[in-house]
Amino acid sequence: MVSALSAHNEFTTSKHSVLKGWFNKEFVSKGLIEQKYYKIYNRAFEKRQEGDYDDFIVFDKEEVKEDLAAMHVFLDSVGGFVQKRLKK
């Protein structure tokens, strides 16, 4: 969703951390997207970093279920925002 938003706004980067910062600056800090959605996105980013770069990482099954449910909420809310932006 964030990549779609960046493409629509003609913002490109090859770094996930830069995309995350751009999303925060352009949408969360300006009150267009609620802070709680950024927190979900940030947590997913951090978990991805752990999974990719930490040695022998094990994720708790219940925590993963909670994160997945939160990501569905993120996708629904931010996806709706993206769809409205794309129609403009």
pLDDT by position in tens, the chain (length 88): 999 899 989 999 999 999 999 999 999 999 999 999 999 999 999 999 998 888 888 999 999 999 999 999 999 999 999 888 878 6
Domain that holds residue 47: 2-87
Amino acid at site 31:
G
Length of the chain in terms of residues written: 88
pLDDT at residue number 77: 94
Give me the pLDDT at residue 3, please: 93
Q: How many domains does the chain have?
A: 1
Backbone Cα Rg of the chain: 14
Q: Give dist(CA 75, CA 72) in Å, integer.
A: 5
Give residue 87's pLDDT: 80
HEC per residue, 21-48: HHHHHHHHCCCCCCHHHHHHHHHHHHHH
